[in-house]
Structure 1
Amino acid sequence: MKAAILQAPNQLAVQATDLPKAGPGDLVIRMRAATVCGTDIRIFRGRKTMGVRYPSILGHEFAGEIVDTGGRAGLSVGDRVGLCPTIPCGHCDRCKRGLENMCAEGLNFGYELDGGFADLIRIPAQAVDGGNLRQLPPGMSYGEAALVEPLSCVLNGQEKAGVGFADVVVVIGAGPIGLLHVLLAGLRGAARIIVSDPNAGRREAALRFGADAVIDPMGEDVTARVRAETDGRGADVVICAIGVPALARQATDLVAHGGRVSLFAGFSKGETGEMDINAIHYNEIKVTGAFGLSRRNFDDAFNMVASGRLKVAPLITDSFPLDETPRAFEVAESGVAIKVAIVND
């Protein structure tokens, strides 16, 4: 079979590799859609190394069809499926405390396990037994199913920040994750959504996806504009949807008294930033992080998409065959596209 194999930072090539070996109870699926995540790009560029091995097959946002059921009842060859890519161990301290997204001993596709940028993917029995697999209903595309994973992460982040009815929400960064935050904040009842991004195309996309106002941080004073948009009080929630350390400080400038700041995006290893600690203290600002997803997050996000309540398909603006995975990474990194998909028809 073919797979896009990462040999080392900045060395990604599509080449022939061995077929996945399915053990007892394992499944094998044929990848039909796998979307490129900002984390995939950071791994490719060597800016994220934790849990990364070489050589490996990246890709943790994917969906496909079963080609080997492993003898399991209730599943058939040809079934269309999506997958929560995080497999918690279930017995470590973090899992026992309900923090399976931070499991110390779990397995993750695209890290410990070969991921979705391949013809075929082995799904371990542990994932099937743990309920990580979901069958796609009629009308749900493979691309939509692949986007359930990033939506699940966004859902985790908004739950941590308490985004809810009548909130004014500022989203910093209008990439795919920022736009998912816009969509979900709208569904959760936000009264007003303001988005800041230097990319004109992405600001336009934010308006299409439900933002009420957009800001060009290269040409406007973001703090002054947010204050003007909120009658001087600031936002109830500020979400940093891009991993730029300087934006952490900006977030504390934008949030209202008693508001919440979500440091959602990942930062490169070793990066540090500063925040206005007096504002956090005197204005009683809550600052929260958000990492990954749980199986509950995945199921909730899957149901939102499967029911049609949340439309994610328009996020995918560019598609490439598996053979052109390196080119897909270039387009995703360029900022020209919103979300890039690898498709395997």
Structure 2
Amino acid sequence: MMRPIQPPNQNRPRRRPDLTLPVPQRDPSFAVPLPLPPISISISNSNSNSVPSSVPTHHHSPPSFSELDRLHRIGSGSGGTVYKVLHRPIGKLYALKVIYGNHEDSVRRQICREVEILRTVDHPNVVKCHGMFDNAGEIQVLLEFMEDGSLEGIRIPHEPSLACLARQMLCGLTYLHRRKIVHRDIKPSNLLINARKQVKIADFGVSRILAQTMDPCNSSVGTIAYMSPERINTDLNHGVYDGYAGDIWSLGVSILEFYLGRFPFAVGRQGDWASLMCAICISQPPEAPAEASREFRNFIACCLQRDPAKRWTAAQLLHHPFVLQKKSSNGSSQNQVHHHHQMLPPPPQHSSSSAHG
């Protein structure tokens, strides 16, 4: 297996560790909070259309629940049911996730705190959370509506198109990780695309809290297919689980699945737990095929390292040669993603299991 290129920004020893500098005096008049790095502009997609032309200024004031009309069900999963809803006063569409189960007050308080954090998340490659409603004991979360559904089942063998997709995923993931938010469930069905062909990461935060709180014995609701070896088998890596590195493993498996058009392990992703555990934790990590470019094969190797400490971070992967490759000569890679998505059947509008998390 080809060894991964050494990641950038390696720690370098100081030339003169004995040198010291005086600490400058702090001026209280300049003690203002610094904004987050503008990564949505500087390292987002290569296409200027990838950044929304207008960011709503009212996102801190979600619509009233009484102003929402349910249109139809988008999908359902282990955590709840998602509906397409219309905000009548302005005619805007949203996705409304209705969470299953009755929740104790302590759980509700925890969810409210988490939703308040998620409402501050604002990035063109992360699905926006607009707020939460408590309607007759039902917890309902209002989310950004993504018209074209999830990327589950999509095959993208065209490498410039895949590089564009990887870049968008990494921009969103870098943003979340810089805000100390671990996703824990990166997979194709949690990657959504809108009418402008922006790819956004969905289903983080609230569903993770609910999965762990409602059923402590089953904190990993759903398939383990995209989980890292050390998360499945806690005996690996001395029992230490790094959620950020776990997200990178899941991203690598997802990107390789897009390229191959199938789950990259020797078993099906819906296989039984024992088969998946053996394939992920015991077998060697999957590799990109020989016919793929050297850059793509190395990119996958940088993500799918058995040792989580050897996996590149999301910020480092944004500078990988595969992600930085130039646009193809016949158009931008963004348009190529658009083209490949149009060639495939449209996502189901009523039966998708995870269209909005």
If the length of structure 2 is used for normalisation, what is the TM-score?
0.27
Which structure has more relative contact order (CA 8 Å, sep 6+)? It is 2
If the length of structure 1 is used for normalisation, what is the TM-score?
0.28
Of structures 1 and 2, the larger Rg is shown by: 2
